[in-house]
Amino acid sequence: MADQFPFQEAIDFLRNKVNLPTRRWDDVLRQGQVRGFTVAGIARDDMLSDFMAALLAARTAGTGFSEFRKSFDEIVDRTGWKFNAKGGTNEERRDWRARIIYTTNMRTSYMAGRWKQLTDPDVLKYRPYLQYVHSNALHPRLLHLHWNGLVLAATDPAWRYMYPPNGWGCGCDVKALSERDLKRLGKSGPDEAPDLTPYESVDPRTGFPEMRYPGIDRGWDYNVGEEWLSGIVPPELRTPLPAVADTQPENLPAMPEATETNWEELLPPEAKPEDGAAAFLSMFGLQGNEGGYYRDASGGIVPIGKSLFRPDVTPGNDDTNPAYGKYARVLADAIRKPDEIWLDWGMVKSGIVLRRSYLKRVLLPDGTSTFLRFEWTKLGWTAVAEPTSAGAADRYRRGALLYRRKAA
């Protein structure tokens, strides 16, 4: 996949990544892949840097797979890397593994760059629709083939999940269309979005429930372009995140002064778990089984809904969680009106995830200072509310500071 001219948006996407050592391909999934550069089985930073340099050369100069394959062989020969691959001979195994690394990064960077171009306001003004274009693969995924020619508004929520690539080796694309293009196709408006109702599966590594989407491979159920520009990693964060290590910035300023609250914001002691869940959701204008997305003060998006309070969806969340009790409303306020928002890498049982932390200090009428922390990852969320001093919050202030409340 060699470009005749440098594709700057795709180059920027690759350059924004930070090296992350991994053992398996699913150590980092979905949104984490937007910010982390991984090659399954590589735990050395220098090797990851070598592979990224080779990919950037291909992306920038358009040298194509053959040149990348030469770089792959050089890195393997020099380092003695023992990689897993399919094939009956050493040549076949090398070619298979090199091609996986190359095509995955070229496709994701290309489609991320395409999304940035296609959703530019000036482009959307004249071409507000996107058409799904199948790759004409010899052995197609049946749903991808069924989606071929489907036209949806560029703002249709379905693109959050079915914007290509939708799996390993997926070469599908999208095409921008105007109102005139629709008429030429014999359409009076966009098509009905396909049924993307998720179904419950199981994470093979943890045994926890995992939601999957029809026609989309595990770990590919996200829009690489949307997540790059406005998802869990907002557009304001343009420099790479530090690796998973001591990531607390130097000269860290003190937390903002605690915000005064009143007893009316706290639920009574006799409140039931369902009361806490309802109070939390009401802060976002939701009730019952309603769900939605909340764009926070840094520009990032957090899914909000009743499923947040299901222990089978978010393992470890039970009736003892402070979000179920008297702190339900103030914990919701930690998302709506935080003191700070941080983004960092987190180590979990199944690998490495991006962790978004909302921190807030509140002062209760009895003079008690309470520290609130709401952390969000692809695996679920954690809520903490505890009496503490301002300095005790510092251990959670790590990674990249996305937002800080201005002093009154």
58 & 85 share domain: yes
102 & 67 share domain: yes
Q: Is residue 236 part of a domain?
A: no
Last residue within a domain, chosen from 222, 239, 269: 222
Is the pLDDT confidence value at 237 over 50? no
Using H for helix, E for strand and C for coil, what is the string for the chain?
CCCCCCCHHHHHHHHCCEECCCCCHHHCCCCHHHHEECCCCCCCHHHHHHHHHHHHHHHHHCCCHHHHHHHHHHHHHHHCCCCCCCCCCHHHHHHHHHHHHHHHHHHHHHHHHHHHHHCCHHHHHHCCEEEEECCCCCCCCHHHHHHCCCEEECCCCCHHHHCCCCCCCCCCEEEEECHHHHHHCCCCCCCCCCCCCCEEEECCCCCCEEEECCCCCCCCCCCHHHHHHHCCCCCCCCCCCCCCCCCCCCCCCCCCCCEECCHHHCCCCCCCHHHHHHHHHHCCCCCCCCEEEEECCCCCEEEEEHHHHCCCCCCCCCCCCHHHCCCHHHHHHHHHCCCEEEEEEEEECCEEEEEEEEEEEEECCCCCEEEEEEEEECCEEEEEEEECCHHHHHHHCCCEEEEECCCC
97 & 162 share domain: no
398 & 277 share domain: yes
280 & 399 share domain: yes
Q: Picking from 85-94, 212-221, 341-350, which range would have the lowest pLDDT averaged per residue?
A: 341-350
Q: Is residue 315 part of a domain?
A: yes
Question: Mean per-residue pLDDT for 226-239?
Answer: 59
287 & 362 share domain: yes
Q: What is the pLDDT of residues 349-387, one digit of tens each?
A: 555 667 788 999 888 888 888 888 888 776 667 777 777
Q: Is residue 228 part of a domain?
A: no
Query: Domain span at residue 88?
Result: 1-118
Last residue within a domain, chosen from 171, 202, 222: 222
Q: Is residue 244 part of a domain?
A: no
111 & 123 share domain: no
Q: Is residue 239 part of a domain?
A: no
106 & 1 share domain: yes
111 & 130 share domain: no
270 & 325 share domain: yes
**What pLDDT, on a 0 to 100 scale, did the predictor assign at position 238?**
47
Last residue within a domain, chosen from 222, 241, 269: 222
Is the pLDDT confidence value at 28 over 70? no
Is the pLDDT confidence value at 3 over 60? no
Looking at the 3D structure of the chain, how many domains does it have? 3
Q: Is residue 230 part of a domain?
A: no
189 & 277 share domain: no
Question: Mean per-residue pLDDT for 292-300?
Answer: 76
pTM of the model: 0.64
**What pLDDT, on a 0 to 100 scale, did the predictor assign at position 396?**
81
110 & 199 share domain: no
Is the pLDDT confidence value at 30 over 70? no
Q: Is residue 232 part of a domain?
A: no
Q: Is residue 8 part of a domain?
A: yes
